[in-house]
Each structure stands twice: as structure tokens, then as C-alpha cells.
């Protein structure tokens, strides 16, 4: 082996050992000069011993190693925090004013978010500069972005180890020496950097576009694969992927770069036929890869892979086939010199060693498996090669070994490029929708791209969970660090013994990467070519649409409305979130739980994949465990009507929610009081029972915001559900005494089953068949209380289901019967006994809201109401031949659920009704039925549902497909 071929390994090893020795203190920084002198002396002695003749290459190789060692020693201080002593002096436990600049995107963690700040100044006034970074935990509601200058008051704390993990050392390698927990933060300046905006704006737009079209938990997986945003990936998916050896799937690395390079190569192929086109195409490919690196966050593994790809492209431009191992070493050397701390980054270590394994061992293993089909042989060979070279790192860092990784990779790896391309298409369509709305084309594109991305990501998730669920899928195994040397020595020996039988390995790397002789393409080159072939095949529109639209269409048809009401109490932990789908596809969300990420995952699992619209959001009261998740729901979904009680409360999340709801395109923010009715379909509606306008203005019972909760009844024909929020005994007593509690089939138990609610008076008035308690597992409040459970048990035969034990609880009703699903069991059918929505009014009626959110009928003529109506107007388009007269007490309802699922609504999307009388007088709107409430109707000029008025009552209907 020529000595020149060992130059790059010698340089990389020298720099790495120098950084290690300098950081550990084994080699003092003062040794840099003597090391360089020793290198020069070695070369001079070699010339002297050869009598002035040119010596062998070995002395030069040794000198290069010593010089690289000295460079590593010189760069070692850059891997350590520079100002830890200053921070130590500030860690007194006392609060101080701290200012800093946000470094990167916030990382959500439940109800809080992490940001890293630099250019830190501690203390009032000019303060004291700290040449180190601080990790800050902010409220989830704080709106901060990279480059923002923020100020807060907090005490700095030292990072504490947990579960045997040296958290302080982990953060220290990133320059972070302290942690701060903050309740309030102020943004003092916004970054106006053009470069930052050029990089951040497209990334945020694509991320928002992807998240708007693909439901959770698949959307977070797609964001991790496409953009490297891994903070939102569900813990259960991360756990199953780790057990199945699939963690590399959600870590952007050489595989993703190869896919991008393959797509670019296919796109610019015609350019190569032009004069000078070869160089232009290569430079364009390098530029696209560089842009994608910035788009993906420029993590160490992405930068390493990009440097490798760039080296390969430039070498091919010079007319030679570059050696992958040379590019790998050159990229690693550049990163070590630029950022020495990357040497301790586990992602960088895994990326380098896995790539080395693919290059050196991938082909020999594949030859050993030559009898297997190619579609099985390649993933198995590459997985085994990567596992063999990364095994010491995996055992040392994660203490876990996956035994099913080859099988799991056979199932999942072929889906990765397809899922990445589909996620990119969904992100692009979603990003274009708000800036260039083209109703028909974007609706079709959103349905196709979002559905295809969801389908592929769901298939990846299912395959990962299937592999992780196999017996002995992974085993806990730890190994000391010194075993790594023995392991790699064994691998080298095994490769040397078998190289003759499996073919010669690629020649050793050389520093002259542009003059390398032709060699067998590396696995990364294979991946790039495969991606290019796939891109060429999919470039034909007919193939693309035919191959993808059929399964998406089949799944869409399978999830259309089934004619029943589906109400699900989501398992969101210690909080409330209930979603309902009516028989025609209208969606209602009551509260949003305490954790936005969990709420989005549970909501995505409960709704069809194409349903990205929430027609009505009802906030019972502004406690954090009910409102936190609604802010993200507003950001991810198109929302129609947003209803709350209008009770003031000092909660930043509440203020942010109201501001976001008011700014929602096509949405409407409304205050609902007792008597308010919301039409959710021809057979379904929601009626508010509490508080009335007077009760909302009066002091709260017991001064508790829980007693501001909206209490409402949801009716679907004869079936009814009483929704109580967190209302406690004073509210229940007031409602029972005023005969304002209707009988109901299902009771959503108030305040998570605390002993302060579910009084005997409420149970006697409601007489429920089923009680649903929403509470968190092992919550600190002891919910549900034994007193509440005893009260339910003594009230009669009531089936009690709890989200902490039974998970999500779904109640299904056809209007006459109900079925309850939860905890792996099904109850029913149970006969419904409640009054219908049209005729079952209880208590005084003070107003009504009717929301038709996406009509499809043409703009109707306007006819005046009868003289008996104090004010109002009614829409009267031509009547469909198939439309039937509405039933007594009918309220308007959206007719086309398919359109509303994919269309952005015009600015006005609701129809308001105002009270005529609080007496039970008849009106034309209620067909004069005794006891029915009466109101006048004021219709929005932008919405044309079918309505009725006293003077002229005609109907308009538009029939369209809905969803399950």
C-alpha cells in the first residue's frame, strides 16, 4: 500500500487525537510547538540518513501526522466552554436579569419550549457578558424566533444528570453551561438579517405547508425525514424505531443527500448536452445540496454528507471517479477543524462510522448474500455493514442492540425516498396555498399530496411498530469503551482474511482525490442512481397520478361519513379534549388538552387523514389543561367558528388563543351564552345551557374560573351528551334548581372526576347511561376521586369509562342507539332516550349561532322576513328537486363536507341569529311548535346555506361526499 494513500487517514487521525488529548488534559497545549519541531526534525533526519537523497514516504507521513496532532491540540480549547467560571459565579440561586440572542428554532416540549441563547449578558444595566450559551425553558406560548434578542428574569442553574446520563457534559460540548427556567419573556429586538431570512423563511414555509396537509403523528415524521425537524416526533414512534434499528431513517444523512442529488441529476440532465453544461449542471447540483443543507438545519451528519457529495461531484467534474472513503475523510477533517466539539456528537460519530461501513463492508456482505433477491439483499447488506461499524458507539451511547434491524430496513428503507418526495410535494402545495390560492387545482393537489405523504409515512410507522413488536426485537446491552478497539481490530482482521474470496476492496484513499483510478461505485452512488431512476419513472404525470391517486382515492372513499355521530374523548392526559363528527362530516372540537403535541396526535388519529378542517371549536373555560392544545389546532387546521364564554382570565395562552382565533382566515370568534344554538347538521346541534349573559358578568361562584365553564348538550336525533367542562357543585346545583339540566345518554363527568363535582342533584336530573371521565394516568390530583366514583355507582347502572385506563373513549350513535368503545371493549347497542335537537329545548333561550362553513350553492336572492320577525333576512335560491322540507325546529347546516375539507373559506363564514323573545312563543323558524325557542336570522353576505324565514321559506341544498 502506497504511503501517499495513507495521508488523509494520517491527517484525520492526528487532528482527532490532538483534540482528544487536549480536551482530556493528557497532552498540554504547550506541546504544540515541540510537536511541530519534532515533525520537522523527523523529515530532516530522514534526508540526512539518506545522504541528501529523497527518503521514503514514511517520514513524511509521520511528519504529517505530528503536524495534524499539533493542529488538533491547538483547536482543542474550541471544544470546551470558554466562560464556565463566570457562569459559576452567577449560580447563586438569586434571580437576575438576563439577555441573549436566540440561536436556532425553539424545540417544543409539552407545555414549554427550549431555546438556546448566545451573546449572553447577565445583570441590570450594562450587565456582565458571558462567552457561553444558556439553555432557556420558555412557556409554549412565547413567540420567539432565531435571531430575536430576548430578556427575562431568572436564576441560572447547573445542568443536572439524570438516569446515569451526564447532561452537563452533553450540553457543555455544545457550549451550553447553564439552564434557566422562565415564566415571562420579552422580545427586545427582532433580527433583520437578510441571510437568516433567506434560509429561515423557506424552511418555515415548507414546514408549515407540510403540517397543514398531513395529520399527526405522520406529519412530524415527514418533517424529520425532509427537513430534519425531529422535535415533534411522537415518543412511541421514536421508541419503536430505536428498537427496530430504524433511527437513521429520521436523521438526515447521506441517504437523504443521495436522494436530493439523484433528483437534481435527473432534472438537469438536458443541461449537460449544451456547451459548458456539464460544469453548470455540477455547480447547480452543488448549490442545491448546499441550500438543502441549510434548509435541513446544518446538523453535523448533514454537513458531513453534503461535503462528501460535493467532493464526489467536483471530482467527477475533473474527469475521474472519486473515491468515497477519500471524500468521507476529507469531509470529516474539515468538520473537525471548523468545529472541534463535533467529535463528541453522537450523530456525527454514527454518521461517519456507518458511511465507512457501507463503503468498506457493504459490497463484500452483498456478495455473500448473492442468492437473495436484489430488493432484499441490498437493504440487508447495507444494514449489517452499518451495524457492524457502529456497534461500539450504539452500545456505549444507548446500551441497546436491535436484533431485527435487517428485517425492519428491508421493509422501511424502500419507502424512505418515496415518503421524502411525497412530503416535499405536500410541503410545497401547503406553502403555496396561502400565497397563491387556486381553488380547484390546489384543492386537488392538497388532497393528493397530503394523502400520499400520509399513506407512505403511515406505512413506515406501521412497519417500524411491527418490527419493534416482535419477540426479542432489541436487547439491553452495555459495553465498556475499551472494547471498541478490540472490535474494530477484529473487523479489520476479518475483512483482510475474506477479501480474497469476496473480491478486492476499493483502493485505499489518497489525498489526490481527483486523480483516482476507476473503482466500483459506492453504495451511496447506488442510492443516488436508484433515486434518479425513480425520479425519471415518476416524472411522467400519468404514471405518477395512476400509481398514487388510486390508493389515496380508495382510502378516501373508505373514510367518508357513515351516517352516524362519532364522539371521542381523546386521551390527552390530565385535561379535556373531545372531538365529534356528525353524520354529514361536520367536526366539533371541545377543548384542547394540556399538551399541544399530544392533542394533535390524538386528533390526527381520530379524524380521517384528509379532514384538515374543524368546523366549530368550543372552549369551555381558559384553564391551561383545556386551552393549550387549541393554539396549535388553529395553526394546523382550517377553523370555522370559535366559541368561548367571554369570561376574562389572566392566562397568556388564553390571550394568544383569542388573537389567533380572531385572525383565522374565514373563521369567526363568538361569545356563547345560555340558549345559544350551533347547528352541526340537519340532525345534530349543540345548545349552551350555562352561563347566561348575566351569569357571565356576575362574580364567579366560589371565585373559581372552573365555574365559568360552558355547560352544553350535544344532540343527534334522540341521542344526547352533556358536556360539563370543569363546572363544579355550585354550577350543578344552580342548573338543577332552575330545571336547566336535560336528561342525557352520556355524561362527560365534570372537572376530571374531582370530588367537587358530579353532585347527586346533577345525576338525578341527567340520569346518564354512560359516564366518561377524562383524566391523566397517575395524576398528582388523585382524579377521579373515590367520592365521585361512589356517586356514579350509587346513581344506578351507569357504565363508567376513564381515559387514564381505557384510552380514547368513542361513543357512536345512529340517533336511536349508541355504542361505546374503550379499553378494548364495546358496550351496546343501548337505546337512546333523549329528546331530538329540534324539539328538545331546555331552559330559556337567549340567542343562537348557526354556522354554515363551506356552502356550494350559488348566491341566492334575498327576501324580506315577515312582519312578525323583528329583524333578519333569508336566503332563497332555487330549490333542488331532491331537497325535502326541513323538520320542525330546523337549523341551518353545512351541506358539502368534501369541499370544506380542502377549501379555504372566504372571510365570512358564519350566520348569526339574535333572540326575539325569552318566552316560549312560536316563530316561523320553529314552525310554531310549543316550547320551541324563537329567533330572527341575520345571514352572512358571503355564505348561502338553505334557510327559512316567515314570509318566504324555500330551501337550497348541495349534495356532496363527506367523510366517516
The 10s digit of each residue's pLDDT in 75-99 is 887 766 656 666 777 777 788 899 9
Residue 771 confidence (pLDDT): 95
Residue 956 vs residue 72, higher pLDDT: 72
Which residue did the predictor score with more confidence, 103 or 730?
Answer: 730
Give the C-alpha distances (Å, rounded to integers) separating 483 from 32, 383, 474: 30, 22, 20
User: Region 572-584: what's the mean pLDDT?
Assistant: 94
Specify the pLDDT at position 932: 31
Q: Is-above-0.85 flag for pTM? A: no
- Beta strands 770-773 and 799-802 are parallel
pLDDT of res. 421? 86
Q: Is the pLDDT of residue 510 over 70?
A: no
Contact 274, 435 (CB under 8 A): no
Closest CA to 594 of 622, 559, 625: 625
Residue 535 has pLDDT above 60, yes or no: no
Q: Which residue has the higher pLDDT, 111 or 553?
A: 553
Phi-psi region of 838 (alpha: psi -120 to 50; beta: other; left: phi over 0): alpha
pLDDT of residue 956: 32
DSSP 8-state code for residue 217 = T
Instruction: Please report which confidence band the pLDDT of residue 904 belongs to, taking 50, 70 and 90 as the band edges.
Output: very low
Query: Does pLDDT of 462 surpass 90?
Result: yes
Cell of 565: 355521530
**pLDDT above 70 for 504:** no
What percentage of the chain has pLDDT greater than the value 70?
72
Any bridge partners for residue 672, and if so which? none
Q: What is the pLDDT of residues 369-407, one digit of tens each?
A: 888 777 677 778 878 888 888 888 888 777 788 888 888
Number of Cα atoms under 13 Å in the Cβ half of residue 343: 27
Instruction: Give the mean pLDDT of 206-221.
Output: 92
In the sheet that holds 668-671, the strands lie side by side as: 668-671, 638-644, 613-618, 587-590, 578-581, 565-569, 809-813, 817-822, 825-831
Can you tell me the mean pLDDT for 340-350? 81
pLDDT at site 12: 86
Among 135, 136, 142, 134, which Cα is nearest to 111's? 142
Residue 173 C-alpha cell reads as 460540548
Q: Kindly report, residue by residue over 289-309, the tens digit of the pLDDT.
A: 888 888 887 777 677 777 776
* Residue 166 scores a pLDDT above 90: no
Contacts of 866 (CB under 8 A, 6+ apart): 924, 949, 950, 951
Q: Calculate the CA dihedral of residues 526, 532, 536, 539 and round it to 10 degrees.
A: 140
Cα(401)–Cα(6) distance, rounded to whole angstroms? 33
Average pLDDT, the chain: 75
Give the best-scoring range by mean pLDDT among 188-192, 623-627, 667-671: 623-627
Give the pLDDT of residue 195.
61
Give the pLDDT score at 881: 33
In three-state secondary structure terms, 698 is coil
Name the band, by pLDDT with cuts 50, 70 and 90, for residue 118. Answer: confident
pLDDT at 538: 52
Strand, coil or helix: 152 = strand
pLDDT digit string, tens, across residues 804-859: 999 999 999 999 999 999 988 899 899 987 655 443 433 333 334 443 333 323 32
pLDDT in tens, 706-750: 999 999 999 999 999 999 999 999 999 999 998 999 999 999 999
* pLDDT at residue number 342: 82
Confidence label for 44 from pLDDT (cuts 50, 70 and 90): low
CA atoms of 46 and 823, how far apart (whole Å):
79
* Residue 913: pLDDT over 60: no
The answer on pLDDT for 205 being more than 70 is: yes
pLDDT (0 to 100) of residue 440: 78
Task: Output the CA angle 912-743-579, nearest 5 degrees.
Answer: 55
The Cα–Cα gap between 414 and 38 comes to 52
Higher pLDDT, 159 or 772: 772
Please say whether the dihedral angle defined by the alpha carbons of residues 348, 352, 353 and 357, taken in this order, is positive or negative. positive
What number is the average pLDDT over the span 44-59? 63
Instruction: Return the higher-pLDDT residue of 844 and 142.
Output: 142
| pLDDT reading at 321 higher than 60 | no
Cβ neighbors of 23 (< 8 A, separation 6 or more) are 76, 79, 80
d(CA 962, CA 844): 34
Grid cell for residue 615: 368546523
The pLDDT value given to residue 608: 93
49 by Cβ neighbours in 10 Å (0-12 / 13-18 / 19+) ranks as exposed
Interatomic CA distance for residues 297 and 314, integer angstroms: 23
pLDDT score for 864: 29
* β-bridge pairing 587-590 and 186-189: unpaired
On the question of pLDDT at 685 being above 90, the answer is yes
641 three-state secondary structure: strand
CB-CB contact of 314 with 286 (8 Å)? yes
- Do residues 100 and 127 make contact, with C-beta atoms less than 8 angstroms apart? no
For residue 542, what pLDDT is reported?
59
| pLDDT confidence of residue 277 | 72
Residue 607: is the preceding peptide bond cis (ω within 30°)?
no
Residue range 337-357: mean pLDDT, rounded:
82
Percentage helix, strand, coil for the chain under 3-state DSSP, each rounded to 5: 45, 15, 35
Run of H or E including 323 = none
Q: Which pLDDT band holds residue 869 (cuts at 50, 70, 90)?
A: very low
CA distance 641 to 8: 64
SS3 of 64-132: the string is HHHHHHHHHHHHHHHHCCCCHHHHHHHCCCCCEEEEEEECCCCEEECCEEEEEEEEEEECCCCCEEECC
H/E stretch holding 198 reads helix 194-213
- pLDDT the model gives residue 505: 42
Is it true that the peptide bond before 284 is cis, omega within 30 degrees of 0?
A: no
**With bands split at pLDDT 50, 70 and 90, how would you rate the model's confidence at 197?**
low
Amino acid at each position: 500500500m502506497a504511503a501517499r494513500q495513507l495521508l488523509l487517514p494520517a491527517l484525520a487521525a492526528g487532528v482527532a487525537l490532538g483534540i482528544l488529548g487536549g480536551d482530556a488534559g493528557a497532552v498540554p497545549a504547550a506541546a504544540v510547538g515541540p510537536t511541530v519541531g519534532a515533525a520537522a526534525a523527523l523529515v530532516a533526519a530522514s534526508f540526512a540518513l539518506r545522504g541528501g537523497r529523497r527518503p521514503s514516504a514514511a517520514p513524511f507521513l509521520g511528519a504529517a501526522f505530528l503536524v495534524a496532532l499539533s493542529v488538533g491540540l491547538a483547536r482543542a480549547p474550541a471544544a470546551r466552554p470558554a466562560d464556565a467560571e463566570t457562569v459559576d459565579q452567577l449560580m447563586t440561586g438569586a434571580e437576575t436579569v438576563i439577555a441573549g440572542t436566540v440561536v436556532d428554532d425553539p424545540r417544543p416540549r409539552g407545555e414549554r419550549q427550549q431555546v438556546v441563547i448566545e451573546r449572553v449578558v447577565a445583570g441590570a444595566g450594562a450587565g456582565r457578558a458571558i462567552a457561553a450559551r444558556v439553555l432557556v425553558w420558555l412557556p409554549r406560548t412565547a413567540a420567539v424566533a432565531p435571531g430575536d434578542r430576548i430578556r427575562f428574569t431568572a436564576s441560572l442553574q447547573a445542568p443536572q444528570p439524570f438516569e446515569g446520563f451526564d447532561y452537563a457534559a452533553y450540553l457543555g460540548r455544545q457550549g451550553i453551561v447553564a439552564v434557566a427556567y422562565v415564566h415571562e419573556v420579552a422580545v427586545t429586538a427582532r433580527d433583520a438579517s437578510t441571510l437568516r431570512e433567506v434560509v429561515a423563511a423557506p424552511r418555515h414555509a415548507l414546514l408549515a405547508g407540510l403540517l397543514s396537509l398531513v395529520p399527526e403523528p405522520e406529519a412530524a415524521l415527514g418533517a424529520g425525514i425532509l427537513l430534519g425537524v425531529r422535535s415533534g416526533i411522537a415518543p412511541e414512534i421514536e421508541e419503536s424505531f430505536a428498537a427496530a434499528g430504524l433511527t437513521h431513517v429520521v436523521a438526515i444523512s447521506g441517504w437523504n443527500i443521495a436522494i436530493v442529488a439523484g433528483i437534481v441529476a435527473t432534472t438537469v440532465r438536458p443541461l449537460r448536452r449544451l456547451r459548458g453544461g456539464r460544469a453548470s449542471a455540477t455547480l447547480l447540483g452543488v448549490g442545491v445540496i448546499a441550500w438543502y443543507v441549510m434548509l435541513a438545519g446544518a446538523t453535523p451528519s448533514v454537513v458531513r454528507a453534503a461535503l462528501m457529495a460535493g467532493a464526489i461531484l467536483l471530482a467527477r467534474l475533473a474527469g475521474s471517479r472519486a473515491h468515497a472513503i477519500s471524500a468521507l475523510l476529507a469531509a470529516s477533517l474539515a468538520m473537525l477543524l471548523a468545529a472541534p466539539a463535533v467529535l463528541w456528537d453522537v450523530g456525527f460519530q454514527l454518521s461517519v462510522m456507518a458511511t465507512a461501513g457501507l463503503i468498506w463492508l457493504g459490497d463484500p456482505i452483498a456478495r455473500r448474500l448473492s442468492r437473495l433477491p436484489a430488493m432484499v439483499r441490498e437493504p440487508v447488506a447495507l444494514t449489517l455493514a452499518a451495524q457492524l461499524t457502529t456497534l461500539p458507539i450504539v452500545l456505549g451511547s444507548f446500551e441497546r442492540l436491535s436484533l431485527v434491524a435487517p428485517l425492519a430496513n428491508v421493509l422501511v428503507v424502500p419507502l424512505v425516498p418515496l415518503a421524502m418526495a411525497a412530503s416535499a410535494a405536500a410541503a410545497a402545495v401547503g406553502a403555496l396555498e396561502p400565497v397563491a390560492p387556486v381553488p380547484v387545482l390546489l384543492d386537488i393537489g392538497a388532497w393528493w399530496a397530503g394523502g400520499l405523504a400520509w399513506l407512505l409515512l403511515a406505512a413506515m410507522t406501521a412497519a417500524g411498530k411491527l418490527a419493534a413488536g416482535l419477540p426479542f426485537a432489541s436487547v439491553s446491552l452495555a459495553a465498556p469503551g475499551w472494547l471498541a478497539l478490540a472490535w474494530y481490530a477484529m473487523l479489520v482482521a476479518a475483512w483482510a482474511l475474506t477479501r480474497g474470496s469476496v473480491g478486492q476492496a476499493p483502493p485505499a484513499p489518497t489525498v489526490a482525490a481527483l486523480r483516482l483510478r476507476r473503482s466500483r461505485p459506492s453504495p451511496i452512488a447506488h442510492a443516488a442512481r436508484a433515486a434518479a431512476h425513480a425520479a425519471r419513472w415518476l416524472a411522467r404525470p400519468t404514471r405518477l397520478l395512476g400509481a398514487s391517486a388510486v390508493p389515496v382515492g380508495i382510502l378516501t372513499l373508505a373514510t367518508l361519513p357513515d351516517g352516524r355521530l362519532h364522539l371521542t374523548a381523546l386521551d390527552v392526559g390530565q385535561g379535556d379534549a373531545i372531538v365529534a363528527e356528525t353524520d354529514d362530516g361536520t367536526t366539533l372540537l371541545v377543548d384542547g388538552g394540556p399538551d399541544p403535541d399530544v392533542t394533535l396526535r390524538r386528533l390526527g388519529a381520530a379524524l380521517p387523514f384528509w379532514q384538515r378542517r374543524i368546523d366549530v371549536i368550543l372552549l369551555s373555560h381558559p384553564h391551561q389543561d383545556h386551552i393549550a392544545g387549541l393554539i396549535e389546532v388553529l395553526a394546523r387546521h382550517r377553523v370555522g367558528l370559535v366559541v368561548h364564554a367571554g369570561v376574562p382570565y389572566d392566562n397568556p395562552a388564553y390571550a394568544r388563543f383569542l388573537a389567533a382565533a380572531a385572525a383565522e382566515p374565514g373563521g369567526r370568534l363568538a361569545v356563547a351564552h345560555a340558549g345559544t344554538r350551533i347547528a352541526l347538521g340537519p340532525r345534530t346541534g349543540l345548545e349552551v345551557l350555562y352561563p347566561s349573559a348575566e351569569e357571565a358578568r356576575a362574580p364567579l361562584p366560589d371565585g373559581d374560573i372552573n365555574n365559568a365553564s360552558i355547560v352544553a348538550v350535544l344532540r343527534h336525533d334522540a341521542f344526547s351528551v352533556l358536556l360539563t367542562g370543569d363546572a363544579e357543585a355550585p354550577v350543578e346545583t344552580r342548573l338543577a334548581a332552575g330545571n336547566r339540566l336535560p336528561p342525557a345518554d352520556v355524561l362527560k363527568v365534570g372537572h376530571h372526576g374531582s370530588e367537587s363535582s358530579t353532585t347527586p342533584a346533577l345525576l338525578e336530573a341527567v340520569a346518564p347511561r354512560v359516564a366518561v371521565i377524562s383524566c391523566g394516568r397517575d395524576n398528582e390530583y388523585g382524579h377521579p376521586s373515590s367520592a365521585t366514583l361512589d356517586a356514579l355507582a350509587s346513581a344506578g347502572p351507569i357504565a363508567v369509562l376513564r381515559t387514564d385506563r381505557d384510552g380514547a373513549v368513542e361513543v357512536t350513535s345512529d340517533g336511536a342507539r349508541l355504542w361505546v368503545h374503550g379499553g378494548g371493549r364495546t358496550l351496546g347497542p343501548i337505546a337512546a332516550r333523549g329528546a331530538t335537537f329540534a324539539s328538545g329545548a331546555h331552559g330559556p333561550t337567549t340567542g343562537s349561532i348557526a354556522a354554515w362553513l363551506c356552502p356550494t350553492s350559488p348566491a341566492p336572492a334575498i327576501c324580506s322576513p315577515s312582519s312578525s320577525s323583528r329583524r333578519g333576512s333569508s336566503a332563497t335560491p332555487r330549490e333542488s328537486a331532491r331537497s325535502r322540507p326541513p323538520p320542525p325546529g330546523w337549523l341551518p347546516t353545512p351541506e358539502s363536507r368534501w369541499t370544506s375539507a380542502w377549501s379555504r373559506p372566504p372571510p365570512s363564514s358564519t350566520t348569526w341569529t339574535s333572540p326575539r323573545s325569552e318566552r316560549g312563543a312560536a316563530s316561523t323558524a320553529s314552525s310554531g311548535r310549543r316550547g320551541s325557542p324563537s329567533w330572527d336570522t341575520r345571514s352572512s353576505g358571503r355564505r348561502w346555506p338553505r334557510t327559512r324565514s316567515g314570509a318566504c321559506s324555500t330551501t337550497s341544498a348541495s349534495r356532496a361526499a363527506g367523510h366517516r
